[in-house]
C-alpha cells in the first residue's frame, strides 16, 4: 500500500487528495479561477478544494464537509502519498479475479441495510440479477439489530474475539484509517492482544495515523 498511497479520513477525501497530489498541487488558498489556470485537467479536484462542488445541500464533494481540513492542509501539507486504492487492489480486484477464475455464478455478502453507510445505501434489495455475470445475494440485508440478536440466540452463533474480547463494534480491514476515531481503540486492542499485527499495521498505515492525529488536534485547537 505504500506504493499506491495510504488512506486518510474517508474514501471520498482520499480520492480528491490523491488527484491533487498527482498534479503537484501546492495546497494554496487561491480563487478557483486562478487555480484552474495554474493546474490543467484538474477541475474536479480543484472544485472540491474550493468548495464549489456542492450539490444543493449535499456537501460530500466539498472539503468543508470535514471541519478545518483545508486550513490544516495549507498549514501542514501531506508529505506522503494519499489514496483510497488499497480497497481496489486488496479487495475489489482480488474478488473479481477469484470469481472469474472459479467461474462462480453467485456472490454472497453480509451487508445489512440497518448498518447504514455507503455500502448499505447502495442497494435497494437483497438480490442483484446480473445477466451473464455473477449474481449478488445479501441474505441478511433486511435484518434489523433485534432480528440479528434473535438469529444469534436461536442458532447459538459464536462471534469473533474482535467483538467478544476486543470490544469492536464492527470489523473491516485491520485498523483501516477510514475507521475514524474507532481506529485508536482498535490499535490499543491489537497492541495488547496481537502485537505482531500492531507492528504490521503501523508499518503500513503509520504516516496516515500520525497525520490524522495531527489533524484532530488541529480541529480541537481551532474549535475553541
Res. 170 pLDDT band, cuts 50 70 90: confident
Position 80 scores a pLDDT of: 96
Least confident of 37-51, 67-81, 171-185, 210-224: 171-185
Position 152 scores a pLDDT of: 92
- Percentage of residues in the chain having pLDDT higher than 70: 95
Residue 88: strand, helix, or coil: helix
Give the model confidence (pLDDT) of 18-58 as tens digits.
Answer: 999 999 999 999 999 999 999 999 999 999 999 987 666 66
Top-confidence residue, 195 or 113: 195
Angle formed by the axes of helices 182-193 and 195-222, to 10°? 150
pLDDT at 127 over 90: yes
Dihedral, CA of residue 106, residue 107, residue 108 and residue 110, to nearest 10: -160
| Closest C-alpha among 98, 108, 113 to residue 128 | 108
pLDDT at 82 over 60: yes
Res. 70 pLDDT band, cuts 50 70 90: very high
Within 10 angstroms of residue 20's Cβ, the number of other Cβ atoms is 21
- Domain residue ranges in the chain: 105-155
d(CA 70, CA 64): 7
Residue 34: strand, helix, or coil: helix
Res. 4 pLDDT band, cuts 50 70 90: confident
d(CA 11, CA 87): 9
Q: Which three cell numbers stand for residue 216?
A: 484532530
Top-confidence residue, 171 or 39: 39
Q: Which residues of 177-199 are buried (b: 16+ CB within 10 A; e: fewer)?
A: bbbeeebeebbebbeeeeeeebe
Residue 6: strand, helix, or coil: strand
Position 49 scores a pLDDT of: 96
HSE-CB at 55 with a 13 A cutoff on CA atoms is 3
> H or E element: which one contains 106?
strand 106-108
Contact by Cβ (8 Å): 203, 197: no
Position 2 scores a pLDDT of: 54
pLDDT at 220 over 90: yes
Least confident of 22-26, 58-62, 76-80: 58-62
Top-confidence residue, 91 or 205: 205
d(CA 195, CA 183): 15
Q: 152 phi and psi, to 5 degrees?
A: -60, -45
Position 54 scores a pLDDT of: 66
Amino acid at each position: 500500500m505504500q506504493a499506491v498511497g495510504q488512506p486518510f479520513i474517508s474514501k471520498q477525501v482520499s480520492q480528491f487528495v490523491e488527484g491533487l497530489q498527482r498534479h503537484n498541487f501546492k495546497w494554496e488558498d487561491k480563487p478557483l479561477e486562478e487555480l484552474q489556470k495554474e493546474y490543467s485537467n484538474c477541475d474536479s479536484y480543484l472544485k472540491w478544494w474550493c468548495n464549489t462542488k456542492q450539490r444543493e445541500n449535499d456537501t460530500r464533494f466539498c472539503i468543508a464537509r470535514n471541519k478545518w481540513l483545508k486550513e490544516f492542509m495549507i498549514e501542514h501539507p501531506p508529505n506522503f502519498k494519499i489514496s483510497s486504492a488499497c480497497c481496489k487492489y486488496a479487495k475489489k480486484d482480488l474478488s473479481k479475479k477469484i470469481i472469474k477464475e472459479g467461474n462462480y455464478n453467485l456472490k454472497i455478502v453480509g451487508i445489512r441495510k440497518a448498518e447504514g453507510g455507503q455500502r448499505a445505501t447502495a442497494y435497494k434489495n437483497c438480490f442483484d440479477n446480473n445477466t451473464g455475470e455473477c449474481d449478488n445475494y445479501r441474505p441478511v440485508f433486511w435484518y434489523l439489530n433485534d432480528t440479528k440478536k434473535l438469529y444469534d440466540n436461536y442458532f447459538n452463533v459464536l462471534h469473533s474475539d474482535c467483538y467478544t474480547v476486543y470490544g469492536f463494534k464492527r470489523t473491516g480491514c485491520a485498523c483501516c484509517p477510514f475507521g475514524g476515531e474507532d481506529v485508536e481503540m482498535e490499535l490499543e486492542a491489537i497492541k495488547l492482544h496481537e502485537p505482531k499485527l500492531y507492528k504490521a499495521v503501523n508499518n503500513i498505515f503509520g504516516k496516515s495515523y500520525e497525520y490524522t492525529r495531527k489533524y484532530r488536534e488541529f480541529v480541537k485547537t481551532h474549535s475553541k
